[in-house]
Amino acid sequence: MLDHRSVNENLEEVKARLAQRNAQVDWDRFSSLIAERSQAIQAFEQRRHEQKTKSTEFGRYARDPEEGPKRRAELKELSDLIKDLEKRQGDLEAELEEFMLHLPNVPHSSTPVGGGEEDNVVVRTVGEPGSYDFEPKAHWDVGTDLGIIDLETATVVSGSRFVLYRGMGVYLELGLAMFMLDVAREAGYEPVMPPYLVLRDAMVGTGQLPKFEEDAFKVDDYFMIPTAEVPVTNMHRQTILEEEQLPIKYVAYSSCFRREAGSAGKDTRGITRVHQFQKVELVKFTRPEDSYEELEKLTANAETVLQRLELPYRVSALCTGDIGFSAAKCYDIEVWLPGQRLYREISSCSNFEDFQARRANIRYRPAGDKKPKTRFVHTINGSGLAVGRTIVALLENYQQADGTVTIPPALQPYLGGKKVIRRGEW
């Protein structure tokens, strides 16, 4: 969440920056709320001062048969007015907070300016797409032919946009997750396995609510997590950390649940965009002055997985019109898929600056000063990686002419030393 004071003090700059990300904002309503809130605070404070003065004076007239009742009635009337003013102030505070919860983050100055994904900037390309002496297939054909991806049965059980893994598909899913967790652990991330159901406040804290409620699955008073970013970031909700603790680094493995309400007609084949999928997530809490350096490190940590799996990929800096609601800067890591002849996002690594920390009230106490003023941390996260999309990349890049799929050397120890996936073997 943006700080309304900072927005008001730098209104024209914020307007221009949010316009770059195509945000539709009722700025007249914002200015009106700021003015009304200021007036309400001033009126409340004036009446409170008046109340204190008259309360002090009342002692002199309390026993006076004429002035006493008169002054008592004036104090009662003033007390009722103050209660009304206090309620008015509270209502305006709540309305202003609700307004701010719908405002996206301000893009960082290094975020490329653009209207949509066509304006994203490729930062680097790593590895060369392989060559084949046969026509490479898409993962849905490779996986179905091997009997490790069963989309037909998944549809019978759960409907569209679900996947059922079978045989080696199960071990591939679990082996990849363990491999990714080990890569993150080497880089100093503490492993976490979070709950899959969270409270509304947790979803608000990371920016999924209230704006994207239609994309979330809800069970009674709980929300099913769309990403482990939600419970892991909220591990330090309403917390004051010590500067010496930063950066804090977590890696989490979880299932993720998304309605994909805004993606009707997109990626309907295969397992690229489904309602339930597994992901290994990297989350950092940092000092503000370190956060952009830590974003680069986190992105490199996610890239390490693809490098060890020897998968060709590229990294793109998302433009202002394509970054996520809470992000100030974002890199997409896109893996090459020869069966579909395109690069496909497999990780998004974002710096939210203090946007989430304000919503979740996550602060730290700077070291050194005797009575240091607390500051909001910066939060960073990224997929390290989406497991299902990594399976997609492996099936398409390592497919063979005979229908088998070879397993890259780095992954073989996590699959019992197996080197080739064949139909009917597990």
pLDDT tens-digit map of 379-420: 999 999 999 999 999 999 999 999 999 999 999 999 999 999
Q: Which member of 345, 358, 365, 375 is catalytic?
A: 345
Residues paired with 381 in a beta bridge: 283, 350
Last residue of a domain, one of 101, 131, 148: 101
pLDDT of residue 282: 98
Q: How many domains does one find in the chain? A: 2
d(CA 349, CA 294): 11
Respond yes or no: is residue 71 known to be catalytic.
no
Respond yes or no: is residue 375 known to be catalytic.
no
Q: Which member of 173, 291, 389, 396 is catalytic?
A: 389
Distance of CA 209 to the CA centre of its chain: 11
pLDDT of residue 129: 95
CATH number at residue 380: 3.30.930.10
Q: Which member of 348, 350, 359, 383 is catalytic?
A: 348
Average pLDDT, stretch 336-365? 98
Q: Is residue 63 part of a domain?
A: yes
pLDDT of residue 55: 78
- Tell me, letter by letter, the H, E, C secondary structure of 162-187: CCCECCHHHHHHHHHHHHHHHHHHHC
Given pLDDT bands bounded at 50, 70 and 90, which one contains residue 53?
A: confident
Q: For residues 311 and 403, state if they share a domain.
A: yes
- Three-state secondary structure call for residue 329: strand
Respond yes or no: is residue 258 known to be catalytic.
yes
Average pLDDT, stretch 93-113? 97
- Three-state secondary structure call for residue 58: helix
Q: Is residue 226 part of a domain?
A: yes
- Three-state secondary structure call for residue 252: strand
133-162 burial code (b ≥16 CB/10 A, e <16): eeebbbbbbbbbbbbbbbbeebeeeeeebb
- Tell me, letter by letter, the H, E, C secondary structure of 97-159: HHHHHCCCCCCCCCCCCCCCHHHCEEEEEECCCCCCCCCCCCHHHHHHHHCCECHHHHHHHHC
Given pLDDT bands bounded at 50, 70 and 90, which one contains residue 68?
A: confident
Given pLDDT bands bounded at 50, 70 and 90, which one contains residue 262?
A: low
pLDDT of residue 61: 65
For residues 275 and 263, is the Cβ–Cβ distance under 8 A? no
Average pLDDT, stretch 176-198? 98
Q: For residues 333 and 305, state if they share a domain.
A: yes
Is pLDDT at 58 greater than 80 in this prediction? Answer: no
Residue range(s) defining the domain that contains residue 97? 26-101
Respond yes or no: is residue 293 known to be catalytic.
no
Q: For residues 44 and 175, state if they share a domain.
A: no
The torsion region of residue 270 among left (phi > 0), alpha (psi -120 to 50) and beta comes to left
Largest CA distance in the chain: 108
Q: For residues 128 and 57, state if they share a domain.
A: no
d(CA 395, CA 406): 9
Respond yes or no: is residue 21 known to be catalytic.
no
Q: What mean pLDDT value characterizes the chain? A: 95
Q: For residues 195 and 275, state if they share a domain.
A: yes
> Tokens representing 68?
């006493």
pLDDT of residue 57: 77
Q: Which member of 258, 326, 334, 359 is catalytic?
A: 258
Q: For residues 377 and 409, state if they share a domain.
A: yes
